[in-house]
């Protein structure tokens, strides 16, 4: 029989899985993209989904004594990171691509917590907020100027220049991809 | 570790406040609220949402344009440009600035 602290940690982790859209309970996150872009940015960057990671960090003393649950945390985090990034490659909707990217990055944070690297998870959580907000708000600018069109296919039909927004996208994507000396590089390194 | 997460709580609070402010401003832009939107000069015109226009809206595609052959600069301007610049700057520099704050205190292990 599992000790009581393992059971408590497990149920806490179930809350984290739901709140932070980890593998298995992730479906709500891309579907939440129906809302306005600034709200999506707020939800994805700083407030809602990251609360699960924050819960993991705050309860770290308990999780440290629950080694079996900690392995599960690391496993689910790794699966989510891989799954989110893979699914994002096959999405057509611009905002859904960014949403699955959030899912993947949350997987990295949970994985770091599962490996007892709580500070690293928190650091990535903090950095992620900036470049994800940038990506969402840039996406909002593009969508607005294309009359609400969000499909990837539709973008190829428009001969429109977004030179400034493109640069913003490039900076955000580079930080997300951990290009050297950008924000994502420090936390993922 | 807990000291770091406690400190983080306040930093994240600031971030949430900042993004909530952005969301409010953006919503104002999109819905044409008067405190952020550009009002056209004709004061005699009856008040309606149509009287308010997205700032420099001329730079965006027009309804009814032949979109598939339309070539135009659809660029962000004004406050949105400023916000994107701030976020882009933080996206570049935040990792370097806060590295010691998160990983220097208490360590990562």
| Model pLDDT for residues A11-23, shown as the tens digit of each residue | 999 999 998 888 8
Spell out which residues of chain B touch residue A153, defining contact as CB-CB under 8 Å.
none
| A164 and B CB contact within 8 Å | yes
Question: Does residue A79 register a pLDDT over 90?
Answer: yes
Neighbouring residues of B73: CB distance < 8 A, sequence distance ≥ 6: A160, A161, A163, B59
The full length of chain A comes to: 189
Contact yes or no for A20/A114 (Cβ under 8 A): no
The pLDDT confidence band at residue B72, using thresholds 50, 70 and 90, is very low
The pLDDT confidence band at residue B71, using thresholds 50, 70 and 90, is very low
From the list A36, A117, A159, the residue facing B71 with the nearest CB is: A159
Neighbouring residues of A78: CB distance < 8 A, sequence distance ≥ 6: A107, A111, A114
Average pLDDT over residues B41-46: 52
Spell out which residues of chain A touch residue B65, defining contact as CB-CB under 8 Å.
none
Chain B residue closest in CA terms to A146: B61
Q: What pLDDT is stored for residue B73 in this prediction?
A: 46
Chain B residue closest in CA terms to A61: B2
A89-98, B51-60, B86-95, range with the lowest pLDDT: B51-60
Q: Which two tokens mark A172?
A: 């955000």
Rounded mean pLDDT of chain A? Answer: 84
| B7 and A CB contact within 8 Å | no
Which of residues A184 and A47 earns the better pLDDT score?
A: A184
Which residues is A159 bridged to in the sheet? B71
Compute the nearest-CA separation of A4 from chain B (Å): 23
Which of residues A85 and B53 earns the better pLDDT score?
A: A85
Q: Say how far apart CA B32 and CA B52 lie, in whole Å.
A: 6
Contact yes or no for A129/B14 (Cβ under 8 A): no
Enumerate helices (H) and strands (E) in chain A, giving the number of each: 11, 1
Which value does ipTM take for this structure?
0.78
Spell out which residues of chain A touch residue B75, defining contact as CB-CB under 8 Å.
161-165
Spell out which residues of chain B touch residue A62, defining contact as CB-CB under 8 Å.
none
- Tell if the CB–CB gap between B12 and A57 is shorter than 8 Å: no
Average pLDDT over residues B94-99: 83
Question: For residue B107, with 0-12 CB atoms within 10 Å meaning exposed, 13-18 middle and 19 or more buried, which class applies?
Answer: exposed
Question: Which H or E element spans position A85?
Answer: helix A67-88
| B86 and A CB contact within 8 Å | no
Q: Which two tokens mark A180?
A: 């050297």
Other Cβ atoms less than 10 A from the Cβ of A159: the count is 11
A36-45, A110-119, B37-46, range with the lowest pLDDT: B37-46
Q: Which two tokens mark B6?
A: 């406690």
Other Cβ atoms less than 10 A from the Cβ of A59: the count is 19
Question: Does residue B101 register a pLDDT over 70?
Answer: yes
A67-71, A158-162, B93-97, range with the lowest pLDDT: A158-162
The pLDDT confidence band at residue A144, using thresholds 50, 70 and 90, is confident
Average pLDDT over residues A63-88: 91
- Tell if the CB–CB gap between A141 and B96 is shorter than 8 Å: no
Question: Which H or E element spans position A161?
Answer: strand A159-161
| A39 and B CB contact within 8 Å | yes
Compute the nearest-CA separation of B46 from chain A (Å): 26
Q: pLDDT tens for residues B19-28?
A: 777 767 766 6
Compute the nearest-CA separation of B54 from chain A (Å): 10
Q: What pLDDT is stored for residue B105 in this prediction?
A: 56
Q: What pLDDT is stored for residue B74 in this prediction?
A: 52
| B71 and A CB contact within 8 Å | yes
Average pLDDT over residues A98-118: 90
Compute the nearest-CA separation of A111 from chain B (Å): 13
Q: What is the DSSP letter of A21?
A: T
Contact yes or no for A155/A162 (Cβ under 8 A): no
Spell out which residues of chain B touch residue A187, defining contact as CB-CB under 8 Å.
95, 102
């Amino acid at each position: 029989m599992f000790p009581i602290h393992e059971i408590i940690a497990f149920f806490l982790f179930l809350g984290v899985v739901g709140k932070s859209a980890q593998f298995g309970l992730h479906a709500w996150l891309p579907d939440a993209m129906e809302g306005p872009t600034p709200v999506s940015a707020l939800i994805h960057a700083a407030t809602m989904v990251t609360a699960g990671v924050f819960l993991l960090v705050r309860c770290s003393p308990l999780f440290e004594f629950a080694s079996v649950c900690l392995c599960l945390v690391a496993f689910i985090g790794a699966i989510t990171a891989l799954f989110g990034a893979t699914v994002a490659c096959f999405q057509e909707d611009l905002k859904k691509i960014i949403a699955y990217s959030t899912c993947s990055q949350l997987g990295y944070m949970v994985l770091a917590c599962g490996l007892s690297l709580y500070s690293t998870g928190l650091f990535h959580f903090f950095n992620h907020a900036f470049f994800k907000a940038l990506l969402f708000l840039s996406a909002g600018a593009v969508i607005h100027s294309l009359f609400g069109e969000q499909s990837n296919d539709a973008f190829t039909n428009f001969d429109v220049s977004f030179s400034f927004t493109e640069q913003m996208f490039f900076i955000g994507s580079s930080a997300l991809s951990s290009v050297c000396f950008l924000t994502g590089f420090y936390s993922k390194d | 570790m807990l000291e770091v997460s406690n400190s983080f709580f306040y930093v994240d609070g600031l971030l949430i406040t900042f993004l909530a402010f952005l969301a409010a401003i953006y919503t104002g832009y999109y819905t044409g609220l008067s405190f952020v939107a550009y009002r056209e000069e004709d004061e005699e015109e009856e008040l309606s949402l149509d009287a308010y226009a997205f700032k420099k809206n001329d730079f965006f595609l027009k309804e009814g344009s032949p979109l598939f052959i339309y070539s135009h600069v659809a660029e962000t301007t004004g406050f949105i440009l400023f916000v994107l610049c701030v976020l882009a700057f933080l996206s570049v520099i935040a990792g370097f600035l806060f590295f010691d704050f998160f990983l220097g205190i208490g360590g990562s292990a």
